[in-house]
Structure 1
Amino acid sequence: MTTAKDLFIVAMDPRPERSVGQGDLSLALAGAELIDLIGAGAVTVDGDRIVPAGPSAPDDRLLGEAAARLTRQPPHEQIEDWLWRRGKDLSAAYQEALEEEGELTRKRGGRLSFGSERVEPADTPARRGAADRWEGREPVLVALASAVGVDDGRPDGEGGPDDEPGLDDAVTTVVAAVHDAVMELESVRQRRTIENAAFANVWRGP
């Protein structure tokens, strides 16, 4: 499977200390797609911009959609802008695709809730492949999972985007952009929480 699909499955493992938000996961999935496109030679990274490297027709439907949405005329799109644009509702798209492929099943009391339904990974070769990639500490998957708060077993404070061995410069740039975007999304959440609390206090009165 693609890195994005492996990431989705890894993010579904039960972790009581923290569930993965759909917004965070969507940003990381967009980053995973970009990394796979880099690996396929479909794009290169020039500074913080995505430069299409030629025609590409990935076998995976969602990865193909990502390639089709690249900005092919200069000035090329910045990585962070791509993450926000491509990442909109992307976790829902991946859930739907994985269900259609039989990689996810809907069950009462499933492991993790994405939206109103509960789903869990089916026992398939693809799921086992994602698990093997995770347990083998594959650098790209570990780095992207770290961005959305999925613990890979290292002590707190280790494993930032610049600390993961085995990542080339282009991939490191993408992973760092995912981390930054997730942090920005969290700051937006916190700001809204503060604003909502302040608004409630106004109506509550002294």
Structure 2
Amino acid sequence: MKDNQQIIIFDTTLRDGEQSPGAAMTKEEKIRIARQLEKLGVNVIEAGFAAASPGDFDAIHTIAGLIHNSTVCSLARASENDVRRAGEAIQPAMQHPEKNGRIHTFIATSKIHMENKLRMTEDQVVDRAVQAVKWALEYTHDVEFSAEDAVRSDIDFLVRVFDAVIEAGATTINVPDTVGYSIPAPWGERMTTLIQRVKHSDKVVWSTHCHNDLGMAVANSLA
């Protein structure tokens, strides 16, 4: 939310929703869902993960050309290839002034992920996050950054990362509960703390992406 009066709906049915068991969708099914989401007035449709497969790329590319009233988005890891594929996939949405495409890039910021998955230091993660935003800006002015596993990330480090990516040009900051670990009170407190401490927090849209492992996704989002 930019302020207390504006709520932006970011729907990830076509990307994260498809990861649910038995929820694989054909291109035609994705197009049908995207059209319905547009009719519902959804602000942003995350149509897939362009670098994941040729099928995902094709679906995003097609949807980006068909949807007119919602922003079409592709997910991308903080790698040059991922961002490039995302940028290419959303190009049909960039052909007309009234349309828009978004790149949603992410990197893990929790100690357990940085040490055991990324094998990167904090400095390296910050540098990569900034570089990913800069790569994305070569394709679109609408760039979202997510700190994967933010719920288990050190709050001081999150502030540092968010400060850096906002300075680099990110326009939306997403704080995900990647492992579905949190409950409403501490999650709301974490969001409030970040918004208060991050420089220029008023210049970006703040977003949250909560998983439902504990049945708390909606409650956490509202918190």
More helix by share: 1
Q: Which has the higher contact order (CA 8 A, sep 6+)?
A: 1
Structure (1 or 2) with the larger CA radius of gyration? 1
More strand by share: 2
TM-score (norm 1): 0.26
